[in-house]
Structure 1
């Protein structure tokens, strides 16, 4: 392990007078698979005596290249800014965690202290957070001010894992960006609990996350504990009237709030009125407000305008007010709004009419909206409702199935109940029989899942039968071949194997492991070093097995096969 002089590290961390210098390879579209591919970046890092920033945006890194770059980073404790967005295009999802983990280990070994970590536009999903967890929990992120994770496909599980990593050692972030991640209520609520402990947030952007009023209410409680919040973006979530009312209760604590983006949040008139009242009662000094496309009626729109222009300095302060896509009323209403808002107004003439969102009086709309909120918020999407209709239609059709008996093949029976007796019934050419049966599957995801599960069903019996061991070894090259013929097969195959080995959790609650994983590890140990076994898949499996070794149920078995967790 490389050793460092403590004095030089301390000096690097405390000297704030040095000019910002670093290495920028952004937008070069480099495909970096090996250490040799990464050599230009390594040379640039080694040649930079004061590496304040490293930008690798717009290139694509494999595991070996990331490990080589990480070694170069071990000599730069002065690193402050890591811009790693859009850095894994064309890579397997499962390649990303070990690559991220390697880069993190390099910074940890250096004793760096990041202030900015940018990882947006990397579709690494929940397992990507696994590769980040160690870095986020380390002292490298102890002074982190900006964390940008936009468009990472985190999902609910990723949101929870991220919250857990951040909560392990409470951070004092100023900026948190995590749009387009489908965090939903559970992910948002988990993060909200972490935000409460921070108290330092100045900007929160979580647009397009499928968050409803439950998650918004949890976030609103967190906002109250972050009085320096100046920029809030929840665009394209379903805040609704209930969420708006929750946010309104937080606004008295947010005297520094300057910018709000609640566009496309289904606020409707009731939600807009709740916000307008809070703006006015708390003399909010807003500079930018976006409430576009929220089905807000004309009277509620006017209340919003009057609330944000109540203070005498509003004409000079307001830079942008967007109400387009709501019912703004006729020409007279729009003229009044424009006069009050001045150049900041974005009203889109002709986009809203008197009748567009208002039926009868404004009062009728308001009275009926509570019921509408109850029915619309946290309800199924149009597509889901449409599917329900189709299902219900199907229920009305009764087919006479008298005398009809479902035909089950020997392979189907074995896969459903993987016993040695059922395997023996497939005969001496069981691998070929299983292969012929599974090739009838057309959907690529279903096909890969079926081949992996069939291989594991047989592998699980390998500890009690040499026949099962032989068949499982025959199935591995067949599985790899069939999977390799499918589009986007690499990450599907790795993800399915990790799930089947119990190394990652399935988001499908009905998923169950019906084979002995100890036998699967035993067979995998034989297969993993064969020439036909893909290197990226081998590296990914080793990374996850090594990181979970101490908690594995099959730890005693796996430890007998170091080829499963050591390079």
Structure 2
């Protein structure tokens, strides 16, 4: 959870003589569902004549509450800092995009110009980036210097969508934080292109993102174009030897680099030696270096120590050098390292500290095998993610649905679900809705059950231009809602199934063509949204995504009424 940061606020505000004022509701654990719930925040915003910062970290906002706050923000063009991290605990994933979009709309209407935007610890995933895209592409973020998106579950698709939004206009970001997002090689590569065009980065942190040497190489190319980069954190990615070599090649352009964190990056001795050589040759004035738990041999560890202490001012400059968890050698080796590093040394003993992990020849072979594994892993991961998460266009042709929960055996219902034609529907008789319901009740796993009911409903709704099929669909729809809402986490599962069935988002499963015609399904759902048995959250979610797809998916206009 983020805290109120006075230093960050001071640095973000351009007029040093200007009194600092704003609204801070951080850490109050407020559950804000309605506009009335949000009234204390609204009142505080309205009472602040010079709203330079707004901090809502550690509360949980529903869509109506976010809309109320958005209205208050419309009157504050002076807003510079928005700290909106950890704001959706306990919320459905589908609630988050419209809430974010609402807050962004308030800033856009006001004509604000943010310098700091923090949305960390909000698990909104790729669809959340869609809620943010309008804000990121607007003038509100045209002067943004600090963007924090730590632990948002972006994935490869989210990384690509984020890169696309950031690339929409020239940027001058100084700080970019996006750890724990599973960006992998493709997400990192997409963002690297944005960083390369910016040239203004001073701090980059992308730890725990599943990035291999391919993505590291792309980032390294971008670093060459950002000579002011001072802090670099790629902790817990698989940099390995080839990634280390790519970074080493970029170091001649990074004379301002002060802090490096490559802990848990599987550098091994070969990667460490490449970095040590580059540190020494480029006379880097490092202040902090973390290479912990990298399976580095004792000779390579000593080379690192020699490289960072080569300049005469190293004792005064170095604040922290972490080599714990590598093969440091015996007591004599450790004493030499401590004598050279002084108080900055962090050489705690641990498993593998006294002994080499591998011999030089073994490591060479290991690195070769590792690089082959990296390439294979990268290829497989990227292919899988590409299939799952291509850019959200051409929805109807490539949409994927999981029908694994439907036991399509040789029964009349099974045949209809496999081939939803009028002829097969008529074979189910006058009580077709009940027959389908009985057939699907054997599915116990909640996600599969909800998906199966949604698929069945849309199989019928796709034929609803026929009066009989329309009547059956009308009977089946409330059964679907009733069955689905009894399941755990039903709100999100139901909304996700509807969105994929209507081609408003892509499924995360293997793509396949829809079995039903979309136009009659859109007309059917648009009528059902007016009925009282539809959960409000489902109604709001469908309308939000339909609105966002106007133009790309013209049928979506039917749901926006």
Quick check: TM above 0.5?
Answer: yes
Distance 2:419 2:508 in 1: 23
Distance 1:226 1:153, change over 3 A: same
- Tell which deviates more after alignment, 101-110 or 411-420: 411-420
Q: Confirm or deny: 8 A CA contact 1:57 1:84 kept in the other structure.
A: yes
Distance 1:58 1:213, change over 3 A: same
CA 1:14–1:221 in 2, change beyond 3 Å: closer, same or farther? Answer: closer
Q: Give the direction of change, closer, same or farther, for the CA distance of 1:296–1:475 in structure 2 (3 Å limit).
A: same
Equivalent residue number for residue 455 of structure 1:
457
Which position in structure 1 is the counterpart of 2:395? Answer: none
Q: 2:371 is matched with which residue: 367, 374, 379? A: 374
The residue aligned with 1:286 is 286
Equivalent pair of 1:270/1:369 in contact (CA under 8 Å): no
- Aligned pairs for 1:469-488 (under 5 A) are 469-488=470-489
Question: How many residues matched?
Answer: 521
Instruction: Check 1:59–1:511 CA distance in 2 against 1; reply closer, same or farther (3 A cut).
Output: farther
1:324 touches 1:352 (CA, 8 Å); kept in 2? no
- The corresponding residue for 1:30 is 30
Q: Name 2:540's counterpart in structure 1.
A: 539
Partner of 1:204: 204
Q: Could you tell me which residue of structure 2 aligns to residue 133 of structure 1?
A: 133
CA contact (8 A) 2:502 2:518 kept: yes
Matched, 1:297 2:274: no
C-alpha contact (below 8 Å) 1:240/1:377 kept by paired residues: no
| Aligned equivalent of 1:497 | 498
The aligned counterpart of 1:526 is 527
- 1:261 is displaced (CA, Å) by 0.7
> Residue 15 of structure 1: CA displacement?
6.0
Q: Secondary structure at the match of 1:550?
A: coil
Is residue 260–residue 290 contact of structure 2 (8 Å, CA) maintained in 1? yes
Aligned residue in 1 for 2:384: none
CA 1:376–1:345 in structure 2 vs 1: closer, same or farther (change >3 Å)? farther
**Structure-2 residue corresponding to 1:394:** none
CA offsets 1:328-354 (integer angstroms, 9 cap, x no match)? 111111111111111111111243244
Structure 2: segments with no counterpart, 5+ residues? 1-12, 382-407
Which residue of 1 is the match for residue 171 of structure 2? 171
**Corresponding residue of 1:392:** none
CA deviations 1:433-471 (Å, max 9, x no partner) are: 2222222222222112111111111111112x1121112
**Does the 8 A contact of 2:328 with 2:355 survive in 1?**
no
Would you say the 8 A contact 1:114–1:143 is kept in 2? yes
Going from structure 1 to structure 2, the CA distance change for 1:372 and 1:337 (only over 3 Å counts) comes to: farther
CA distance in 1, matches of 2:97, 2:191: 21
Distance 1:422 1:335 in 2: 81
Gaps of 5+ in 1: 1-12, 385-405
Q: CA deviation at 1:206?
A: 0.5
TM-score scaled by length of structure 1: 0.89
Which residue is equivalent to 1:82?
82
1:373, 1:89 → 2: CA distance?
A: 39
Task: Indicate if the aligned counterparts of 2:114 and 2:140 stay in contact, CA closer than 8 A.
Answer: yes
Please give the alpha-carbon distance, in whole angstroms, between the structure 2 residues aligned to 1:380 and 1:254: 30
Task: Tell me which residue corresponds to 1:231.
Answer: 231
Paired residue for 2:45? Answer: 45
SS at match of 1:289: strand
Change (3 A) 1:117 1:48: same
Alignment root-mean-square deviation, CA? 1.7
Cα distance, 1:236 vs. partner? Answer: 0.7
Aligned-partner Cα distance in 2 for 1:350–1:30: 43
Segment of structure 1 superposing worse, 243-252 or 436-445: 436-445
Q: CA deviation at 1:72?
A: 0.5
- Tell me by how many angstroms 1:554 deviates: 2.5
Q: What's the CA shift string for 1:220-274, capped at 9, x where partnerless?
A: 1011111100011111111111111111111110011111111111111111111
After TM superposition, the structure 1 = structure 2 runs for residues 76-155 of structure 1, keeping only pairs within 5 Å, are 76-155=76-155
Contact 2:329 2:356 in 1 (8 A): no
Give the Cα separation in 1 of the matches to 2:536 and 2:193: 40
Task: Flag the 1:442–1:14 CA change in 2: closer, same or farther, 3 A.
Answer: same
- Name the counterpart of 2:313: 313
Task: Tell whether the 8 Å contact from 1:173 to 1:201 is kept in structure 2 after alignment.
Answer: yes
Match of residue 269 from structure 1: 269
Partner of 1:5: none
Residue matched to 1:550: 551
Task: Call closer, same or farther: CA 1:437–1:505 in 2, change over 3 Å.
Answer: same
**Do the aligned partners of 2:263 and 2:290 also contact (CA within 8 Å) in 1?**
yes
CA distance in 2, matches of 1:18, 1:330: 57
Distance (Å, rounded) in 2 between the aligned partners of 1:82 and 1:287: 31
Question: Using the alignment, how far apart are the partners of 1:299 and 1:369 within structure 2?
Answer: 17
Contact kept? 2:325, 2:349, Cα under 8 Å = no
Q: 1: CA distance between counterparts of 2:443 and 2:223?
A: 50
Structure 1 residue aligned with 2:362, among 360, 365, 382?
365
| TM-score of the two chains, using structure 2 as the length reference | 0.90
Shift, 1:355, TM fit? 3.4
Please give the per-residue CA displacement for 1:528-553, whole angstroms capped at 9, x wherever unaligned.
11111111111111111112122214
Classify the secondary structure of the residue corresponding to 2:464. Answer: coil
For the residue of structure 1 that corresponds to 2:507, the secondary structure is coil
Number of the residue aligned with 1:398: none
> Equivalents in 2 of 1:110, 1:92: separation in Å?
28
Distance 2:411 2:297 in 1: 62
Following superposition, the deviation at residue 378 of structure 1 comes to 4.1
Partner Cα distance (1:72, 1:335) in 2:
61
Q: Report the secondary structure of 1:264's partner residue.
A: coil
Q: Which residue of 2 aligns with 1:323?
A: 323
Distance 1:407 1:66, change over 3 A: closer
Aligned twin of 2:420? 418
